[in-house]
Amino acid sequence: MNAPHRFFVLALCASLLLAAGGGARADDAGAKASSIDPAAARLLDKLLGEIDTQQGQPRRIDLGEAVRIAVENNPGIRARAEVPQREAQGPSEKAGAFDATLRAGGGMTDVDIPSASALASGRSTFIERAYRAGISISKLLQTGATVTVDWSNERIDSNSRYLVINPRYDLRLNVGVSQPLLRNIGAADEQTTVLVAAETSRQSQADFEAELADFVAGVIGDYWSYLQASAELEVARRSVALAQELVRDAESKVAVELLAPVAVKEAKADAAAREERRLAAENALTVAARTLQHAVMLGAAGGGAPQMVTPVEEHLVTELPLDHRGSLTTAVTNRPEVRSASIALVRSRLEEKRASNLKLPSLALVARYGLAGLAGDARQVVDSDGNPVVSGFAGDYGDAFGDMLGRDYTDVVVGLELEIPLGNSEAEAKQAKAEIDVRRAARELEQTVSSVALDVEKALADLGSAFQRVSAAKLARQLAEENLQNQRRRFEVGAVTTKDVLDFQQKLAEAMAAEVRAITDHANAVAQLRLAEGTLLASFSIQVASPDAPAVPWWAKF
């Protein structure tokens, strides 16, 4: 049904509802339809388009191709793949603490206030106009030291009688360093933050690998489920055919009075029941086909609707060696869940180290070296003894700048700053919590290894059992076929009743279905063992590439 036809049908249904007194419900439906998100509406149109176009032959694919296409096209797994890429930006983000910071500013102040002091200006009002501009740059070093370079410029004009330079240019160039000696030495807090972000990125990739392996195992299960549903449908069809054949034989015998008419009814009743089971098997195959279609998502990456696919590979049942020690060693080595739990333990230990650092007193070496320059319009003033005073800093901005660079006037500060929190309860609490987190992470790693070992044991047991079940089911099906043939021959000579034949037909159908299930279970057991060992992705040549992390800038390395 194309889009105009769908619109016509919807409009016709709405008209009928209004005519029948369902106007309120139609209005509600219209409100709901209009409230669909535009992005969801586009996806809905795509799915409706799929219903219209799924008339051709489905794509025939083997298991390897199904897995590869699903990994490349499934939107859910593609969305999850973005998480490690996002977390890979974390170390660069946290390394921003080592970025240099540039600050610049400027402004003007204009002061005109009453003066309460003769020393302020010698007048009843104090007037000052100042222009200020400055620039500074600061950076945290890998040693934990913070280095700041500050350059300030001022031009100040005042009405004070006692200033020997007015207006004046006042320049300052300062270099300051604050180096921690105990707490946060080596930028312990910032470095830990970067390391934790890096471990978080690694853990995110491990978690994605685990989810991807589960997803691949799910696709494999969907693939074999389709084949199982297809085989069970064939079993159901054969069972119906056998019942219908028996109906015809019974009718022939009734016609020549070799059987009572009730035998035909009995055969028809059983045939009808088998037809019901065939319909159920047919629906199960339809559902399995849709499930596989939306797992593989063939064509979805290009923006189209997922195309129908048909499995063509048959599972070859072979006996595989069951090596408990080797499988367990492989699993603990390769399983991303173990790697993720190990990384979580490393992260918790880093946080414990950070908490221990916070308990230390803060002791810092502080140093500053400054240069000063001064110049302006020199004026003669009289000191308290009546002697004339003339400044030697007459000049302009260039003279002040030259004085500053000439290092004639310096400002040097060297000292220690000590800070000791009394009680330090916050740091103590953080340390206690960090120690608990380490113990918890260690136990979670132990539990993960134990769960992996259980997965391996279960997978090995299921695989061994499935192989034996296939052999037993095959033998049971062969014997059921022989028994049915014997019963048919006995029925032809009147030695058994219709019900006897029906019973043996049912036993054959059950044996055939059991063989199909055993083969499917063996195929899934092989995949589950590879999943438990952590080799499932490698068996399909699937490699999870490391996310593209931005390079560390050169200035963050010192």
Q: Judging by beta carbons within 10 Å of its beta carbon (0-12, 13-18, 19+), is residue 4 exposed, middle or buried?
A: exposed
Please, are residues 445 and 344 in contact by the beta-carbon 8 Å criterion? Answer: yes
- Closest residue by Cα to residue 250 from 486, 505, 503, 491: 491
Nearest Cα residue to 1 out of 36, 32, 45? 45
Q: DSSP letters of 491-516?
A: HHTTSS-HHHHHHHHHHHHHHHHHHH
Q: Which residues of 44-75 are buried (b: 16+ CB within 10 A; e: fewer)?
A: eeeeeebeeeeeeeebebebebbbbbbbebbe
Mapping DSSP to helix (H, G, I), strand (E, B) and coil, where does residue 407 land?
A: coil
Q: What is the pLDDT along the chain (558 residues), one digit of tens a residue?
A: 443 334 333 333 333 333 344 444 444 444 444 466 775 666 566 556 555 555 567 889 999 999 999 999 888 898 999 999 999 999 988 888 999 999 999 999 998 888 766 665 566 788 889 999 999 999 999 999 999 999 999 999 988 777 888 899 999 999 999 999 999 999 899 999 999 999 999 999 999 999 999 999 999 999 999 999 999 999 999 999 988 988 888 888 888 777 788 888 888 998 999 999 999 999 999 999 999 999 998 887 777 778 889 999 999 999 999 999 999 999 999 999 999 999 999 999 999 999 999 999 999 999 999 999 988 888 776 666 667 767 778 888 888 888 888 877 889 999 999 999 888 888 999 999 999 999 999 999 999 999 999 999 999 999 999 999 999 999 999 999 999 999 888 888 878 888 888 889 889 999 999 999 999 999 999 999 999 999 999 999 999 888 877 777 777 778
Q: Give the pLDDT of residue 118.
A: 60
Q: Are the C-beta atoms of residues 352 and 346 closer than 8 Å to each other?
A: no
Looking at residue 119, its pLDDT comes to 60
What tokens does 110 get? 């204009």
Is 217 within 8 Å of 536 (Cβ atoms)?
yes
Residue linked to tokens 């106007």: 23
At residue 325, the pLDDT reads: 93
What pLDDT does 26 receive? 40
Backbone angles phi, psi at 14, to 5 degrees: -65, -40
**Judging by DSSP bridges, how do beta strands 165-180 and 309-311 pair with one another?**
unpaired
User: Which token pair is 111?
Assistant: 């002061």
176 pairs with which residues across the strands?
Answer: 148, 368
Two tokens, residue 398: 């260039």
The pLDDT score that the predictor gives to residue 113 is: 84
